[in-house]
Each structure stands twice: as C-alpha cells, then as structure tokens.
C-alpha cells in the first residue's frame, strides 16, 4: 500500500491550486518491494492522479480514464456539476471487466451467459455463492486512486475506492494504508482549502512524514503543486530535492517530537509518593508477622 495526499490551497496571485504528495514505495505481495516507484499518472487535460495499491491494476484504471476522457463529447465542457458523473464512469467499466473476468476464468461462461441462465443447473447454494462473489468483487489489493483536477477551471479532489465508488472531497483527500495517520495530522492542523501555499506545503509534508509510522509507507517523498496561470495554462510544478530538504528542516523544527523529562501533575506525584511510603512501612512489621509466624494480631 502507500499514502497519497492532495490538498486544496490558496496560491499567491493565481487563485487556488492543489498540493499533491505521495511516497514512492510499491510492494508486490509475497515477492519484493521498491522505494523508487513513480505513482503519478496524467489522466487528461488538467487532470492527474496518484496511485495506491496494486500498481498494475491502478495503471490499467488510469488508462481507462485517459481513454474515456479523450473520447467523451468535447462539445459538452466539464463543469463542477457534471465532472463527478464523468469520473465515476471508468471505475464502473473496470469493475464490469473484473466481473466478466471472474465468470470466464472460474466458470468458462460470460456474465451475460450467467444472466441468461447458463449456470442454473448448479445447486442453489452454489448460485448464492456466485452472487456473493460478484457482490464482493473489488479492485485488486485495495487499489485506489486520488484524482486532482483543474479541468473545470476550479481545483477539485476526488477519491476512487476499491469498491469502485468515487467521491468528491473538500479541503483535502487521502488514500492508502497511511490514511488514518495522514488524515489525523491534517485535521490536527485544522487544515482547510484557504490555507496559504506555504502552510499547505508544510502541513501535507508533515502528514506524509507522520504516516511513515505505517510500515507500508515508504521513506521517500514526491510532491507537486498544480495550478492555472493567468492565461489558464496548467502549471505542474515539482518540488525538487532542495525544496524537500527545506520542508524536512521545517519538520524538524515544528513537527512532533519525543517528550523526554516531562513531569506529572503535583497531586498525582504526591499520591504515588504516599503509596511508596506505605509499601516501605510494611517492612517494619513485627518479626513474627514478617517471617510468617503463627502469632495472630490482637483484635
């Protein structure tokens, strides 16, 4: 798995933009892993995506996005009202492909054959299991995607989940196994879409660094800033090594750190000290009682 983060932000002199960030780790289950994997895909005009999960499946889905977005009716422009409907179509097609693959590989029939009753000779329990299998088909290895788009002229973030559902996100979006940590970090920073670019860069970088607490999130970081210039041209700005070193220095100054030598509330400290005294007093019991003798204390 991985972590992919997108955050809307306020750009100096250019309206709003999007900060994108991910690790570069890829894992092949039962095989090997790499910490130098490219996870950014261009889906269409002013639209890109970060990939998570099984990269082969994620890239196949990205290819379906490119094909769909290039073939759609260009006379009908993408708007804030219709873009979500368009972004939901490729995952539907991908899931249909997975369903078709399930029937052809397991039962040597098409999904249409199944609907037409070709497998009705099977026991009812088996037919119920097939229906359950189809209902539970998901993208391989929890494959998901974070889409960043400026195709409507306004920045938008969208998440594609392993069950094929697509959602529009506000302020920021996170996918991957590092989701809980990264999302919590951005919430802790009270992050919102009107944060200045400088704050956005740090908050997103910090969220990624903290998500490295998940063993599936790699230590390497890749970051970009997407925005439209004054002529409406997409600017896709990569944060280079020097920029990442600067963000790392900020993280060392402002990020969470181990708390050594912290004190306790005075009331609790004094209470614990009293308990220690009471335990020490047990050492002063009469010799017979201390040694387990037979004398009984007088009532």
So what's the pLDDT on residue 294?
A: 47
Q: How does pLDDT run across 25-79, given as a tens digit for each residue? A: 987 666 667 888 999 999 998 999 999 999 999 999 999 999 999 998 877 889 9
**Quick check: helix, strand or coil at residue 99?**
helix
Of the given ranges (107-111, 232-236, 269-273, 285-289), which has the lowest mean pLDDT?
A: 285-289
Domains of the chain, by residue range, sit at 3-106+139-254
pTM over 0.75: yes
Residue 283 has pLDDT above 70, yes or no: no
Question: 127, 22, 136, 150: which is closest to 78 by C-alpha?
Answer: 150
Q: How far is CA 154 from the centre of its chain?
A: 23
Q: How does pLDDT run across 7-33, given as a tens digit for each residue? A: 999 998 878 999 999 999 987 666 667
CATH topology of domain 3-106+139-254: 3.60.20
Q: Is 13 left (phi over 0), alpha (psi -120 to 50) or beta?
A: left
So what's the pLDDT on residue 174?
A: 98
Exposed e or buried b for every residue in 74-88, given b needs 16+ CB within 10 A?
A: eeeebeeeebeebbe
The average confidence (pLDDT) of the chain is 90
Report the C-alpha gap between 249 and 252 in whole angstroms. 5
């Amino acid at each position: 798995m991985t972590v992919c983060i997108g955050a809307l932000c306020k750009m100096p002199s250019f309206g709003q933009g999007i900060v994108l960030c991910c690790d570069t780790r890829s894992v092949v289950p039962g095989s090997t892993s790499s910490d130098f994997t490219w996870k950014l895909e261009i889906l269409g005009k002013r639209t890109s995506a970060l990939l998570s999960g099984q990269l082969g499946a994620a890239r196949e889905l990205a290819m379906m996005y490119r094909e769909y977005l290039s073939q759609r009716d260009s006379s009908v422009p993408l708007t804030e009202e219709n873009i979500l409907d368009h972004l939901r179509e490729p995952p539907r097609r991908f899931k249909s492909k997975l369903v078709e693959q399930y029937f052809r590989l397991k039962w040597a029939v098409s999904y249409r054959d199944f609907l037409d009753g070709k497998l009705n000779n099977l026991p009812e329990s088996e037919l119920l299991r097939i229906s359950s299998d189809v209902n539970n088909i998901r993208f391989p290895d929890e494959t998901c995607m974070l889409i960043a788009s400026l195709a409507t002229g306004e920045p938008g973030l969208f998440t594609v989940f392993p069950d094929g559902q697509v959602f529009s996100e506000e302020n920021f979006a996170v996918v991957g196994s590092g989701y809980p940590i990264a999302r919590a970090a951005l919430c802790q920073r009270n992050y919102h879409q009107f944060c200045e670019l400088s704050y956005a860069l740090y908050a997103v970088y910090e969220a990624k660094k903290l998500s490295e607490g998940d063993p599936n999130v790699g230590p390497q970081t890749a970051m970009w800033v997407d925005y439209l210039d004054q002529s409406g041209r997409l600017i896709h700005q990569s944060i280079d090594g020097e920029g990442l070193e600067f963000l790392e220095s900020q993280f060392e100054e402002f990020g969470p750190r181990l708390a050594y030598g912290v004190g306790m509330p005075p009331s609790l400290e004094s209470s614990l000290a009293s308990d220690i005294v009471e335990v020490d007093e047990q050492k002063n019991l009469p010799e017979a009682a201390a040694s387990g003798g037979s004398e009984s204390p007088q009532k």
